[in-house]
A and B are shown apart, each in its own frame.
Chain A
């Protein structure tokens, strides 16, 4: 199956700093990548949908200026959490698909802890 990686797997940062999370599709070209957030014992919440070469589409309630998404190539999307605060601490998961209506392949997730 298709493999998606995320880096870093775990990050701890101070409040007010920015954190970048990378999502890569290793063996296929992903036209669409998705970013999710998952709080403890909760389900995945879609944050934004990212198509290569175009601006991300954010879900209602997600601040686009706080969560910057860049999808510069067919194998890489990045999520930058700007001016992170403790309430941003969460498990961030990306997924990738070959076409927008196909199965999504999930990355292993990034655990962000903001002190």
Chain B
């Protein structure tokens, strides 16, 4: 089977740092994506990890440990506009086509 877990909600303060964790159990693992989604809109790509380690992109960083089935998204210098849902998605090999399996999403509220 497959299972992807994230905290349901998180709250943080403007200017602070927040870490959103994601744990997964799946066969055919072929990388992990993080997406941001504002209410009523489509997800937008934030990061992709396929090898262990940290990927940094501006205020956003993502970490992956394949042996532990664990990833996190780190958001620095939080801004009010960062209030959104953050979706962890595992890229899973499935026959001829890879598929994205999404976690439940973490709703982040940034407060002044």
Interface residues of A (CB under 8 A from B): 1, 32, 34, 41-46, 49, 51, 57, 91, 93, 95, 100-101, 103-109, 111
Contacts and interface: CB of A to CB of B under 8 A. Distances in A.
A79 to B, nearest CB: 15
Contacts of A91: 40
A42 to B, nearest CB: 7
Nearest to B35: A106
18 contacts: A41-B107, A43-B103, A43-B105, A44-B87, A44-B100, A46-B99, A46-B101, A49-B97, A57-B97, A93-B43, A101-B30, A101-B91, A101-B98, A103-B45, A105-B45, A106-B35, A106-B43, A109-B42
Secondary structure type dominating chain B contacts: strand
B97 A100 contact: yes
B24 to A, nearest CB: 13
B60 to A, nearest CB: 16
Contacts of A93: 42-43
B89 to A, nearest CB: 8
Interface of B: 30, 33, 35, 40-45, 48, 87, 89, 91, 93, 96-105, 107
Contacts of A46: 99-102
Nearest to B8: A41
B82 to A, nearest CB: 19
B100 A104 contact: yes
Nearest to B106: A43
Contacts of B30: 101
Nearest to A104: B100
B100 A109 contact: no
Nearest to A97: B98
A43 B87 contact: yes
A107 to B, nearest CB: 6
Nearest to A108: B42
Most buried by A among B44, B102, B107: B102
